[in-house]
Amino acid sequence: MRRFVVLACLVCAVPLSLPAQAAIAGTWFTEFDTQVRIMNGVESSAGKGHARIELQVTGDSIHGTWQTLGATGAPDGPPRLLAGTLTSAGVHIEALKPSEIVTRVMESETHTQAMMNYTVALHGDSLVGTEQWVAVDHSSQGPARRFTATRKQS
């Protein structure tokens, strides 16, 4: 009987969401802030951009691209490579090359090379979670901001 209880506990502990998370493969579209202004502690968007995200899943690994899109929906610049993993809590994806984060305060300007990180969960045909930049040297990081993407409709 004791073996059965231990086996039952192990079976219950195995995350059931991993096969469902494999459905993350495909094409996704997102809207993102191109600039964020913070005045008197209040954040506001100073512009929006659009991107297409292509994801492939192999086992618990994710590979893909982030393609920024211009106003006409055509690719704008080269795609950024993405990689990540499926976890019991969802999906963690990060850009493989750093982006430049520019921070302006009064008369000064700071340029930081940073990696973009995305922690999301699959909710139907939506990815919902957070995005956050982390300096390559881990000296600083941005606030976690809401991130959403919707699946390309066939």
pLDDT at 104: 83
Give the predicted TM-score (pTM) of the model.
0.79
Radius of gyration of the chain (CA): 19
Domain 16-151 sits in CATH 3.40.190.80: no
Residue 78 phi/psi, 5° resolution?
-75, 150
pLDDT at 22: 60
Question: Average pLDDT for residues 129-135, to the nearest whole number?
Answer: 95
Q: Give the closest residue to 68 by CA, choosing from 77, 57, 56, 81.
A: 77
Q: Tell me the C-alpha to C-alpha distance, in Å, between residue 16 and each of 9, 58, 89, 116.
A: 14, 17, 10, 28
Domain ranges of the chain: 16-151
Instruction: Write out the two tokens for 91.
Output: 């999906």
Over residues 13-55, the pLDDT tens digits come to: 334 344 555 689 999 999 988 877 777 777 777 788 999 999 9
